């Protein structure tokens, strides 16, 4: 048995931890919070190995005065029907369409929205009933309703559709486990082991001419995902006291990032075809510096003629606009943080 002094110390430590937890979560602070959120990690870009190629496409198009056709992204659904084993939801993302829009933005594509048009359709309905205005009227003047004009909505030249078509959970696995120790019941035993397993996700894409409905391009890609696990431990009984010490390490390539990687690789190929780009070697002849509106985070249309002085070049910097990391942001803190 543990000495009495050690038992008392353990009980005191547990009690202190319990009281600290109660103080942290049981009484609201001056900001009305029971606990202060952990906010240390900055917001960063979410690139894949193909993001730089997408930005290269935008640079190539701008340098050669190439105009992108108008592209719409249709539904890119999860057609695998797979769910998580614990019942928490779908095994792969339902956001592949949004990933494709972001990827096309990085490539400088001209896009029109066709995936979620609920707000536009509602505003068109209100405008048709003369219920919407664009400019507040001056005092004493009548409200000018928004007009509806023929041809006011841009059409698409092509649209992209597709699906996540495969999710194979374990196409390969290997591992080993070694255990050794004394034969007697109170003896020391040890164990060490490692395992590796591979899964696969695949997607299919189609590019459709919006007017003729011809399928003008198709792509099918797969990506394999690897997981590794290493662990070991020691088990012993000393003087009636039980000791079970173990440690391990596991890594798994994110499934959803694998989907994003497939989407970005597909959009690289599609946009290279639209731009007539000869291949990756064309990136070597373009100056990546200078004013741009696309990057690893997506793209934008400048609201004003200030391309050379706006914050477009800092969108990928994780320290920008972060009050804890950017000296240019005034150190104004909310109470409780």
**Under 8 Å between Cβ of 263 and 101:** no
Please give the CATH architecture assigned to the domain spanning 45-112+154-314: 3-Layer(aba) Sandwich (3.40)
pLDDT at residue number 274: 93
**Under 8 Å between Cβ of 201 and 92:** yes
Q: CA 185 from chain center: how many Å? A: 51
Which letter, b or e, does each residue of 259-275 get, where b requires 16 or more Cβ atoms within 10 Å of its Cβ? bbbbbbbbbbebbbebb
**Under 8 Å between Cβ of 46 and 259:** no
pLDDT at residue number 184: 63
pLDDT at residue number 80: 92
Q: Classify the C-alpha dihedral 203-110-155-209 as positive or negative.
A: negative
pLDDT at residue number 59: 87
**pLDDT tens sequence for the chain (337 residues):** 555 555 545 555 555 555 555 445 578 887 788 887 777 888 888 889 999 899 989 988 988 899 999 999 999 999 998 887 777 788 889 999 999 999 999 999 999 999 999 999 999 999 999 999 888 877 878 888 888 999 999 999 999 999 999 998 877 767 666 666 666 655 676 777 777 878 899 999 999 999 999 999 999 999 998 877 777 666 665 555 556 666 665 555 688 899 999 999 999 999 999 999 888 888 765 544 455 666 777 766 666 666 666 666 677 777 777 777 777 777 555 444 4
CA distance 262 to 219: 10
pLDDT at residue number 319: 74
pLDDT at residue number 326: 77
Domain range list for the chain: 45-112+154-314, 115-153
CA distance 70 to 114: 11
CA distance 171 to 199: 6
CA distance 84 to 328: 44
pLDDT at residue number 337: 42
Query: How many other CB atoms sit within 10 Å of the CB of residue 26?
Result: 10
Residue whose tokens read 């992209």? 160
Q: CA 305 from chain center: how many Å? A: 30
Q: CA 27 from chain center: how many Å? A: 35
Query: How many other CB atoms sit within 10 Å of the CB of residue 318?
Result: 13
**Alpha helices per DSSP H over the chain:** 4-25, 51-63, 96-106, 118-128, 255-275
pTM above the 0.85 mark? no
């Amino acid at each position: 048995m543990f000495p009495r002094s050690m038992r008392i110390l353990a009980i005191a430590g547990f009690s202190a931890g319990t009281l600290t937890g109660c103080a942290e979560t049981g009484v609201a602070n001056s900001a009305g919070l029971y606990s202060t959120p952990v906010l240390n990690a900055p917001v960063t870009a979410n690139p894949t190995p193909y993001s730089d190629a997408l930005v290269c496409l935008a640079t190539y198009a701008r340098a050669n005065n190439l105009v992108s056709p108008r592209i719409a992204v249709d539904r890119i659904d999860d057609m695998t029907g797979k769910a998580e084993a614990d019942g928490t939801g779908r095994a792969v993302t339902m956001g592949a369409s949004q990933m494709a829009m972001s990827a096309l933005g990085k490539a400088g594509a001209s896009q029109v929205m066709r995936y979620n048009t609920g707000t536009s359709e509602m505003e068109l309905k209100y405008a048709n009933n003369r219920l919407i205005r664009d400019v507040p009227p001056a005092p004493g003047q009548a409200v000018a309703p928004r007009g509806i004009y023929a041809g006011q909505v841009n059409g698409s030249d092509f649209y992209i559709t597709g699906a996540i078509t495969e999710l194979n959970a374990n196409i390969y696995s290997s591992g080993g486990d070694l255990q050794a120790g004394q034969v007697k019941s109170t003896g020391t035993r040890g164990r060490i082991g490692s395992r590796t397993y591979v899964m696969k996700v695949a997607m299919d894409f189609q590019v459709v001419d919006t007017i003729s409905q011809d399928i003008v391009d198709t792509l099918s890609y797969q990506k394999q995902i690897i997981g590794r696990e290493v662990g070991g431990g020691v088990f012993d009984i000393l003087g009636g006291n039980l000791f079970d010490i173990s440690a391990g390490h596991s890594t798994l390539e994110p499934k959803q990032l694998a989907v994003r990687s497939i989407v970005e690789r597909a959009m690289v190929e599609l946009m290279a075809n639209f731009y007539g780009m000869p291949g990756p070697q064309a990136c070597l002849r373009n100056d990546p510096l200078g004013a741009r509106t696309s990057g690893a985070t997506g793209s934008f249309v400048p609201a004003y003629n200030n391309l050379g002085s706006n914050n477009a070049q800092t969108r990928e910097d994780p320290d920008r606009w972060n009050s804890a990391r950017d000296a240019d942001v005034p150190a104004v803190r909310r109470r409780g943080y």
